[in-house]
Structure 1
Amino acid sequence: MNWLIAILLLCLGGCLWGLGSANRDEVIGLLEQMLAVGLLLVVLFIGHQILLEILFLAIAIWLPKARSGLSLSLPPANRDDVLIPF
């Protein structure tokens, strides 16, 4: 896949993502966002654009890690709710 097609697909995916975020109908908006993610995956996995792959790998490494072992904040004792920790 050449760079022009990859950039065109990424721009189309960006437009679809923007339309999906601005759409008032949640189902259609989610569908547009899923199509945008599909276009991104096509560019990454079929196009073999190494620069894009390195960029997204760097973004994934930069994301904060999930912390394990966080304690639950318990509600006040004077409530009638039952807390069942999982």
Structure 2
Amino acid sequence: MTDEQYRHESLNVLREIRDGQQAILAQLSAQRTLAEEQVARSRDKVDESIGLQKLALQRQRTIALIAVPGILACIAAIAYLVLRYF
């Protein structure tokens, strides 16, 4: 193999390496874009979940404010009836 052929072969190998690296970089860029989209969707889902949890806690407090006094009134009425008739 002559010196010129060796250089030509080396140049071809370097070009193949460069082309392979460019393809890998394009794939990595696509994967990064996909990962960023997934992170954004995940954040949206977490925000939605937190909002629903806050809403559930508000409803729970409202129900507790209504139900607890009602239950206590029923217990007091039962206690009154038990004490009055026994």
TM-score (norm: length of structure 1): 0.27
Which structure is higher in RCO with an 8 Å CA cutoff and minimum separation 6? 1
TM-score (norm: length of structure 2): 0.27
Report the structure number with the largest CA radius of gyration: 2
Structure with bigger helix share is: 2
